[in-house]
Amino acid sequence: MAIISDIQEEEAPPPQQQAAPAAVDVDLEVLEAVLERKGGALPFLHAAIDVAHRRSDLFRDPSAVGKVTAMAAACRAQVEAEERKARDAKRKAAELEKAAAAEKERVVKAAAEKEKRESSVVTEGRVAGSSAEKDASTEVEKKEGKANKPNAGNGLDMEKYSWTQQLPEVNVNVPVPEGTKSRFVVCEIKKDHLKVGLKGQPPIIDGELHKPVKVDDCFWSIEDGKALSILLTKHNQMEWWKSVIKGDPEVDTQKVEPETSKLSDLDPETRQTVEKMMFDQRQKQMGLPTSDEMQKQDMLKKFMSQHPEMDFSRVKIA
């Protein structure tokens, strides 16, 4: 057997020599080289045991097998200890990361509450603005008054149709006479235009879409023979639609609420973006700075603290 003869040439003592004591210093580099040539640990051990059997009286001792097994068990125990140590280190790192994220969230909330309190104090002590500012404020209120509160599906219930939405898509529901077949339906979906109706009758919907859609990912169907269901896949799946058709009544996108179950299905990067949008919407509703504005404020404050020699008397931190 070639694998045995190699070991015998490199490691076996002369035939008349007894097995070397355990305390003999072994050249690890030589053993590693032999192990590599033997193609793995098991062939190496097989060859080493064969050499020990042929060149020593080791296995004439009835306890030899138990001793070898004990050495193998000790090695296995060491491996298990190392694996436990690695798992514990990984678990502790995850706990530290989780604690750091919780602390960061606590700091952000505390900063938002502080900003809210400061803003409230400033508002209470603010003198009434000029008539021009009042007119501008009134105009803003009028514009905001045009936006409607969203229905349960973040859309609107219209006279001739209703619609709902999530970030990736818009669902349009158009009532039709009971028993209507698909062959009687006219539904043309283009990138920027939607036309819906029944053959031989004026269109129920016919106009430019609020935002572009992915035509190949859109489809329609008849539901229970009395409603036309249309799914429009948004081209930009990171924004809310104010309406389906431009010029139709608009929904107040500041009040839309993504489904929690849908958020959990998003990848981490998309979910972070959505949560940021939701946070900014809440901040705007309360008259507080958005996350980007808060970041700019922190950067300006840091710069001012690093350059006390500069005059920042005319700089206003929002």
Confidence of residue 246 (pLDDT cuts 50, 70, 90): very high
Do residues 222 and 180 make contact, with C-beta atoms less than 8 angstroms apart? Answer: yes
In the chain, the domains with their CATH numbers are: 28-88 (no CATH), 156-234 (2.60.40.790), 268-306 (no CATH)
- Residues 160, 157: Cα–Cα separation, whole Å: 9
Q: Based on C-alpha coordinates, what's the Rg of the chain? A: 38
- Residues 32, 93: Cα–Cα separation, whole Å: 34
Percent of the chain with pLDDT over 90: 25
* Structure letter (DSSP) for residue 265: H
Confidence of residue 156 (pLDDT cuts 50, 70, 90): very high
CA neighbor of 218 nearest in space, from 248, 258, 191, 251: 191
Flag whether pLDDT at 136 surpasses 80: no
**pLDDT tens digits along 8-34:** 444 444 444 444 444 344 566 777 777
- Residues 288, 302: Cα–Cα separation, whole Å: 20
**pLDDT tens digits along 178-230:** 988 889 999 999 999 999 999 999 999 999 999 999 999 999 998 888 899 99
- Residues 107, 146: Cα–Cα separation, whole Å: 37
DSSP E strands in the chain: the ranges are 156-157, 162-165, 169-175, 185-189, 193-198, 205-208, 219-223, 227-233
**pLDDT tens digits along 109-132:** 888 888 888 777 656 555 444 454
Residue 189 neighbours by CB under 8 Å, 6+ apart: 213, 215, 218, 220, 230, 232
Confidence of residue 177 (pLDDT cuts 50, 70, 90): very high
Structure tokens at 112: 């938002």
CA neighbor of 260 nearest in space, from 247, 271, 248: 271
**pLDDT tens digits along 39-62:** 777 887 888 888 888 888 888 888
Alpha carbon distance, N-terminus to C-terminus of the chain? 84
CB-count exposure of residue 174 (10 Å: 0-12, 13-18, 19+): buried
